[in-house]
Amino acid sequence: MNNVEQDLWNRVRERLKSNVGDDIFNSWFARMELEAIDADTVRMSVPTRFLKSWVQSHYAERLLTCWQDEQAAIARIELTVRSAVLKPLPPKMKLPEIAPVASDRRDTRTGFESFRGGTPISAAHDALGGSPLDPRLCFESFVVGRSNTLAHAAAKQVAQGRRGDAVMFNPLYIHAGVGLGKTHLLQALAWAGNAATERKVLYLTAEKFMYGFVAALRAQNALAFKEALRTIDVLVIDDLQFLQGKSTQAEFCHTLNALIDSGRQVVIAADRPPSELETLDERVRSRLAGGLVVEMGSLGEELRFEILKARVTAARLHHPGFDVPSAVLAYISKAVTHNGRDLEGALNRLLAHSKLTGQPITLEMAEREVRDLIRPQEPKRIKIEEIQRIVARQYNVSRADLLSSRRTANVVRPRQVAMYLAKLMTLRSLPEIGRRFGGRDHTTVLHAVRKIENLVHSDTSLAEEIEILKRQLQD
């Protein structure tokens, strides 16, 4: 590739960046390289198969357009996967040296934690000092929806990777608010990764990471800890926002760098994007932002429904009598909008209720049980037609009367009230309201609004009428 081609590629990159935005660019295109340009074909490479298929299925056209905008003759883009191999870890991870452990006769094989029982997978995991894994948090029970497709695909990809595969994005950084599935996804990755491949996946909460280091340092055992880290292929750290303390952060930074530079995969979850981890050093933040940063959005109603359905199915394994009608699931997924934990809470209550009373689960019962988990509804969007209908009914006139040009007192007042409410309770402009009231001028609407505004101060019965109307419109 010559300089001209490189310049061209740089310009295409700039186009892409402004086209897709910095985040997407950094996630998918930052490590794309130009290999060659042959006549009408551009050959480019990416470090992984996943990246290749993702770019092909999501950005092929835009990529081509950006090239064509620079060089109209380009007709085809060929994407290949660059081969890369796992490099050995540097002989010494650049961690601060602590007093040697030679005199320490305890079993340092496992780093700083004793070997615990359980399944072979969790035993190996525990032996490395990992945080406990919940067997229910697996890929099978993770429901994929619009808000988490990308995070799920990336986690799955990491879990399926083999030793020696090129690392496609490093670190994988997933952020989302509370209860949106971060821990679930990370633990699923740890389970699946440990089960399916010969690689070792270590799942740690940030607290455990801190505790591990502190404990290891106190036991003058940090070398063993470093040894243990050296044997893992994928380090998963949950709730990174809790990482605190200057020395812990320095250790974290060293570990991160050492792992990433040696081709080990790092996966991180936090409740905010890297740029907002204020307590972290700028260099750590930019290292974190240098991989794939994915946000998981809030759970949509459909996804909530599917999660509930999956939960009921799982619960029925242990509680065969637990039967939740679909209407109840639909109600809960509509009403409990906040997060996965509230959904779980709602189902647990239904389960407890059905166990304790032996009664079937009904909609009424569900409404009673989950009442306090329901968030206040978003203010309802009110329509002008609705206002006209309710006002007309209240004053015993017809809707057509309100829209007509009749000027008798029994229609003029209701019409003014309706216009006033339309201004107050909708986002419609005065001209728009005028149009919807039989093609009136906006000054007429303004006059009506002012008139009623003034009257409600002095006329208590009118004020009351208006309160009643508002209430009817709001529910």
Residues that bind ligand ADP (CB under 6 A): 137, 141-143, 148, 176, 178-184, 307, 340-341, 344
- In the block, tokens 């950094």 appear at 26
Residue from 183, 194, 255, 333 touching Mg ion (CB under 5 A): that is: 183
Q: For Mg ion, which stretch binds (CB under 5 A), given 26-34, 180-188, 429-437, 455-463?
A: 180-188
Q: For Mg ion, which stretch binds (CB under 5 A), given 52-60, 177-185, 372-380, 403-411?
A: 177-185
CB of 179 to Mg ion, least distance (A): 8
CB of 86 to ligand ADP, least distance (A): 29
Q: How far apart are the first and last CA of the chain?
A: 67
Give the residue with the Cβ less far from ligand ADP, 59 or 142: 142
CB of 178 to ligand ADP, least distance (A): 5
Give the residue with the Cβ less far from Mg ion, 110 or 339: 339
User: Strands of 265-270's sheet, edge to edge?
Assistant: 201-205, 234-238, 265-270, 172-175, 292-295
CB of 71 to ligand ADP, least distance (A): 43
Residue nearest to Mg ion (CB): 183
CB of 357 to Mg ion, least distance (A): 33
Angstrom distances, CA of residue 259 to CA of 87, 265, 394: 10, 7, 72
Identify whether the C-beta of residue 165 lies closer than 8 Å to the C-beta of residue 81: no
Give the residue with the Cβ less far from ligand ADP, 95 or 374: 374
178: partner contacted, choices Mg ion, ligand ADP, none (Cβ within 5-8 A by kind): ligand ADP
Residue nearest to ligand ADP (CB): 340
Half-sphere exposure of 87 (CA within 13 A, CB side): 10
Give the residue with the Cβ less far from ligand ADP, 266 or 390: 266
Q: How many residues bind Mg ion (CB under 5 A)?
A: 2
CB of 376 to ligand ADP, least distance (A): 21
- In the block, tokens 């039989």 appear at 438
CB of 72 to ligand ADP, least distance (A): 45
How far apart CA 41 and CA 260 sit, in angstroms, is 33
Give the residue with the Cβ less far from Mg ion, 49 or 341: 341
CB of 25 to ligand ADP, least distance (A): 26
Give the residue with the Cβ less far from ligand ADP, 182 or 440: 182
Site string for Mg ion, 98-137 (x = CB under 5 A): ----------------------------------------
Task: Kindly state whether residue 187 participates in binding Mg ion, applying the rule CB under 5 A.
Answer: no
Give the residue with the Cβ less far from ligand ADP, 304 or 440: 304
Give the residue with the Cβ less far from Mg ion, 209 or 420: 209
Tokens of 304: 């909530």
Angstrom distances, CA of residue 266 to CA of 176, 192, 234, 297: 18, 15, 6, 22
Contacts of 442 (CB under 8 A, 6+ apart): 429, 430, 431, 433, 434
437: partner contacted, choices Mg ion, ligand ADP, none (Cβ within 5-8 A by kind): none
Q: Phi, psi at residue 370, to the nearest 5°?
A: -105, 10
Q: What angle in degrees, to the nearest 10, is found between the helix axes of 326-335 and 340-357?
A: 140
240: partner contacted, choices Mg ion, ligand ADP, none (Cβ within 5-8 A by kind): none
How far apart CA 319 and CA 304 sit, in angstroms, is 21
Handedness of CA 19, 22, 23, 26 (dihedral sign): positive
Give the residue with the Cβ less far from ligand ADP, 25 or 139: 139
How far apart CA 368 and CA 357 sit, in angstroms, is 14
CB of 283 to ligand ADP, least distance (A): 26
208: partner contacted, choices Mg ion, ligand ADP, none (Cβ within 5-8 A by kind): none
CB of 177 to ligand ADP, least distance (A): 7
Q: Give contact residues for Mg ion (rule: CB under 5 A).
A: 182-183
